[in-house]
Each structure stands twice: as C-alpha cells, then as structure tokens.
Amino acid sequence: MKTINLKAEISGERLDAFIASNSDISRSHAEKLIAEGQVTVNGSPREKKYKVKAGDDISVVIPPEKMPDMTPVEMNLKVVYECEHYAVIDKPAGVTVHPAHGTGADTIVNGLLHQFDIKDDNDVRPGIVHRLDKDTSGLLLVAKNREAREKLSRMFADRTVDKKYLAVCAGVPKKMNFIAEFPIGRSRKDRKKMAVEDGGKYAKSEITVLKLLKGAFLAEVKIYTGRTHQIRVHMSHLGYPLAGDSVYGNRISTAMPINRQALHSWHLSFIDPFDNTQKSFLSHIPEDMAALITILER
C-alpha cells in the first residue's frame, strides 16, 4: 500500500486533473481511485469533479497492483542473434516491452518466456535489459538469465553500448550534424509527458542528417544516455519533431502518413561481457518508415 500526499497551491482545478498533473498517476487511474474512495481532501472523500482550493491537503492511497500476466505467448519474435546468455531481437512497432498496469499478455516479455528458456528471478521484467517505446521498432537486447541481465544492464548503466536510431523528422535542419544536450525530466505542464526541464537528468543525443526530404529529413541519432522518450523530446525541443509522434509532435509532423512515431533502433554495438569480443548488429529500416521516406522524396 502506497500513499501520496499532495497540497494544492492554487484553486480551481478538478480533483482528478490535479492528481494527474502533480503525480505520475494518469487521469483515468485517478478517477478510478477517487471512485473507490482512495482519495481524501482534508480527511474527507470527494468526487472527481470537486474543484481543489488553495491549501487543500489531498491524500491518495494506491493499493498494491495485481501481478502482471506472465503467461508465455507465442509471438514468433525475430531473432537477430542468440547465444546461451542473451539474444538480440528485432522488435516490431506496436508491442509493449514488459507487462505493467493495464497491459495484457501481449508484451515482449510474454513472447520471450515462450520462445526462450528464461532463468531470471525478476518477477515483472525477466530478461529485460533496456526498453524501447511501444511504437518504436528495432533492435532490443534481452538476457536469458539473471547473471546476463545484471552484466548487460551494467553495460547500459556505464554507457558502453553504442546505440543508434533512424528517425524521420519534420522541418529543415540548419546543420547536417549537431548535438542535443538538454536535461530531461517530467513535464511541469503535463505529468504524463517528459520535457526538457531545468533540474532534469542529463541527456545527450547526436544527430546526423542522412537525407533531406520535402519539409523533413532522415536522421541517424546516437544516444549517449537513455532517458525516457529521449530522442522524441530532444527533437521536439529543437523544432524537429518525429513524423507521426502523437505525443510530442506538431500539426505538420502528425499529419505525415505514418501511424506511429518514425523511430527505429537500427544499430547496436558492445563488447560481449562473456567472451570479450566486439558484437555489432544492424536492422533494416521497416516498411512503414521506408514508405514514408519514398512519399517525402517526391
């Protein structure tokens, strides 16, 4: 059982909206907690339409989440490389990496449990070393056992993994190569989003323009850190949002003909912690991004 205590500084915001904008709780989850009587204002329960007043003390009780569904599911994951310790898979867009609140048994983890003999005592994210957003495609490194997960996770923490992405971005770049070095944290305006924020965590991306398109460009983005939504936030902040990004995009980028953010993890390179050899993997650009580039070339 977890309790979050909040204090309203200004008046007028609906209770459910106030909770969502001042915590990591989504508005729909806040509505559910209010309906279940898990939210009190100055010690008394209120309905979601209640308008908070300056000085209100809001208490939110979050019951323990149910264990996620870890049922093995046949997904025929595309394996780029496999050894006894780990595998590299080519993740399709539209698939969540691991189970969480509100997800079903259709995540990469469920597929891993069916396709590989995973010996990992992590109850929620067995085999998961790093993540890709649901609608981001491409290379994903997964561990087959606890020892591998710990060693591979350490490589990511130590920033010794070379990670490069392909992205189609809206706008006309001023340079063919540039650095985005801005701190990223939870957005102060919308707690469900990340943003470039003073006081956020250090984040660095290097952008190399590969091809100029009509009102857009194809870029290779090398990330030196692994912040949540890093590339999407950095490119949006620079004025070059990713095509199809419904969260961080603008009117022009979201009108581009692709049904997800045009982001693909295409290059992964590291020193194997088990045999000390260099490993490098590539993934071809997916069909939907290739089709978008063809359209924007015309």
pLDDT given at position 121: 86
69 noted as active-site residue: no
d(CA 120, CA 143): 8
Phi (first) and psi of residue 162, to 5 degrees:
-90, 110
**Residue 55 contacts by C-beta under 8 Å, 6 or more apart in sequence?**
7, 8
d(CA 4, CA 114): 37
pLDDT per residue over 77-130, tens digit each?
999 999 999 999 999 999 999 887 666 778 999 999 999 999 998 877 899 999
CB 142 within 8 A of CB 89: yes
The DSSP annotation for 117-157 comes to: --B---SSSTTBSS---TT-EEEEEEESBHHHHHHHHHHHH
Burial of residue 288, with CB atoms counted within 10 A of its CB: 0-12 exposed, 13-18 middle, 19 or more buried:
middle
Q: What is the mean pLDDT of residues 122-151?
A: 94
> Is residue 291's pLDDT more than 90?
yes
d(CA 138, CA 264): 5
16, 90, 133, 135: the active-site residue: 133
The answer to whether the predicted template modeling score (pTM) of the entire model surpasses 0.85 is no
Of residues 248 and 102, more confidence is placed in: 248
d(CA 225, CA 206): 11
Residues in the chain: 298
Pull the structure tokens for residue 111. 């597929």
Type and span of the H or E element at 169: strand 162-170
Binned at pLDDT 50, 70 and 90, residue 134 comes out as: very high
Q: What is the mean pLDDT of residues 52-60?
A: 95
Pull the structure tokens for residue 256. 């581009």
Q: What is the mean pLDDT of residues 263-281?
A: 98
pLDDT per residue over 153-180, tens digit each?
999 999 999 999 999 999 999 999 999 9
pLDDT given at position 29: 86
Mean pLDDT score across all residues of the chain: 94
**Closest to 204 (Cα-Cα) out of 234, 232, 169:** 234
Residue 194, Ramachandran bin (φ over 0: left; ψ between -120 and 50: alpha; else beta): beta
For residue 64, the 8-state DSSP code is P
d(CA 176, CA 219): 9
Residue percentage of the chain with pLDDT more than 70: 98
Judged by average pLDDT, the poorest of 46-55, 144-153, 190-199, 223-232 is 190-199
Binned at pLDDT 50, 70 and 90, residue 46 comes out as: very high
pLDDT given at position 102: 63
pLDDT given at position 101: 63
**Residue 239 contacts by C-beta under 8 Å, 6 or more apart in sequence?**
171
pLDDT per residue over 178-218, tens digit each?
999 999 998 988 878 999 999 899 999 999 999 999 999 99
Binned at pLDDT 50, 70 and 90, residue 2 comes out as: confident
Q: What is the mean pLDDT of residues 15-26?
A: 88
